[in-house]
Amino acid sequence: MKKIFFLYFYIQKFFVSLQPIKKYLLMNMYRFLYQLVIVFVVLGCAGCGNQKKGEFDSTIVNIPVSADGKNEKTRMPKLEFEQTHHDFGKLIQGEKVSFTYKFKNTGNATLVISSVSPGCNCTVAQFTQTPVAVGETGSVTVNFNSETKKGLVNSSIVVQANTYPADTRLSFTANVGLP
């Protein structure tokens, strides 16, 4: 009988010693489920459609060429610049100059410029960020800093829009002399 009592005592002690582990596992399981619910709520609200001021609906972007290369007859904006190249002429190193390339939407749909990428760190570009209606005009202003340049400078700016083709290349030249 004594052996059974000791066996019972040790088994009970073993299960009692497991209680903190059970509590810990249960608590961590609840914590994990709570965190999982929070993640799903945050991800679910991320795409609630809150458009900020100045943003536009991406459904106005249209690619008119099919996979077989055929040009579909669809309504498309057309980006037409007054000029695509500008010559700043002779500059003294360190001089800062700017030029505004003006354009008109000559297509038959709303034009949206998605980005303007200068070709070097010496150039900063600003552009019309709102949608441009058919027949309306906009601009791309290029600011060139000649501080780190010398000699003949050829640079380009790529304008990306919802046109076909999507990229339009602007360029400028300058002849930078030492002071």
Read off the pLDDT of residues 125-152 as tens digits, 9 standing for 90 and up: 999 999 999 999 999 999 999 999 999 9
SS3 state of residue 28: helix
The Cα 51–Cα 67 span in angstroms is 32
- One-letter amino acid of 74: T
Tell me the pTM.
Answer: 0.63
Task: Tell me which residue of 127, 137, 140 sits closest to 172, measured CA to CA.
Answer: 140
